[in-house]
Amino acid sequence: MTDTNIREHQVIEHLRSLVEAKTLWGFSLAFVNERKTFLSYDGVMGQIPPYDRLPVKAGLCYDLASLSKVVGTASRIMQLVAEGAFTLDTPVKTLLPGFRHTYITVENLLLHNSGLPAEIAAKQTLTRDNIMERLFQTEPVYEPGTRFIYSDVGYILLGLIIKEGKGVPEKGSLEKSFKTHIFSPLNMAHTSFSVFDTQQCLPTEKTLQRGLICGQVHDSKAWLLGESGSAGLFSTLENMAAFAQAYLQEDPALFPPKIFRMIQETQVFGRTLGWSKEYGSHTLYHTGFTGTSMLIDRNRKEAMVLLTNRIHPARDNQKFLDERKKLNQLWLAQRHSYNPFPYPRGC
């Protein structure tokens, strides 16, 4: 057994210990390389009946939260750049005339350095009737390009560019755009803004306003918008592994080679186009608030996808966030030699 396999065993055992300690109720985990995928499941779907008796298994649907930003929004934006619909330097105002800030570009939004704040002000007062008006009223807090602020505002705007941007082809729903240009070409049939079988969906938070959330998007802005560029997609471990593998293979069904090169070569404030590079310039990383993450090591041509519902039944689960950093560092410590998946499937 190689050091690589030992480390992957250690990741699985560490996750199992978190389940035993009730830091998590369960997890779905994938180790992916260019040729193969190993899938592992453990625990139960939740704390609240009947989920406390339902095992985590293949095909379950997770709320991806902000992992939607790279799986859907940033991917489609980069496809449109490749197609020549606009460039990274195109001002957002050119594409969305209702946007007032002349010097913010598409690239600024992708890199989270637009100067726009993380959230729309007074988020608790947003409604389906006022959210769009309040979005366009949001003012930058820094000059574009001068600082990093992880901004949902910016990615909601990117979603609007895809849906209704001036000069953008095939305007319409994000659902249709993502399905046509990303999910169908990559055989991701179970990735969508809607859940077709709520019995196969893991619950997230239990709130006073909405009760136990299951089969509906957890993110409050995405819930109001219906479709959002910042969050809202649901998917399975198997589909997320397919997306990670498309990156490892540099699959032309996703991007032409020049786009993969742009993503690889860009590094601004520790980020590239859509992704974080916080684990090194050779890595791509993104998380979702609900407990999802994808970590790609381009040097080794390997990826790790971890899906959980860590905010079930409540969001105050900081311990898992700390433990996930340890898991990422443990996985990245593997050597470059690779002997794929000697342990039994379902381990």
* Domain residue extents for the chain: 3-67+187-332, 86-168
* pLDDT score recorded for residue 171: 87
* pLDDT score recorded for residue 342: 33
* pLDDT score recorded for residue 4: 56
| Cα distance between residue 346 and residue 38, in whole Å | 8
* pLDDT score recorded for residue 337: 35
- pTM, two decimal places: 0.94
Is 238:29 a contact under the CB 8 Å cutoff?
no
* pLDDT score recorded for residue 1: 41
* pLDDT score recorded for residue 298: 95
Burial of 55 (0-12, 13-18, 19+ CB in 10 A): exposed
CA 262 vs. chain centroid, Å, equals: 19
* pLDDT score recorded for residue 334: 58
* pLDDT score recorded for residue 170: 87
- Residues forming beta bridges with residue 26, ordered by sequence position: 43
Is 36:20 a contact under the CB 8 Å cutoff?
no
Nearest to 284 by CA among 299, 230, 40: 299
Nearest to 184 by CA among 259, 246, 230, 261: 246
CATH number of 3-67+187-332: 3.40.710.10
* Per-residue pLDDT of the chain in tens (347 residues, 90 and over written 9): 455 588 899 999 999 999 999 999 999 999 999 999 999 999 999 999 999 999 999 999 999 999 999 999 999 999 999 999 999 999 999 999 999 999 999 999 999 999 999 999 999 999 999 999 999 999 999 999 999 999 999 999 999 999 999 999 988 899 999 999 999 999 999 999 999 888 999 999 999 999 999 999 999 999 999 999 999 999 999 999 999 999 999 999 999 999 999 999 999 999 999 999 999 999 999 999 999 999 999 999 999 999 999 999 999 999 999 999 999 999 998 543 333 333 232 33
Helix, strand or coil, per DSSP, at residue 157: helix
* pLDDT score recorded for residue 335: 41
What element of type H or E holds 81? helix 75-83
| Cα distance between residue 13 and residue 195, in whole Å | 31
* pLDDT score recorded for residue 6: 83
Nearest to 175 by CA among 228, 254, 96: 228
* pLDDT score recorded for residue 196: 81
| Cα distance between residue 312 and residue 213, in whole Å | 9
* pLDDT score recorded for residue 347: 30
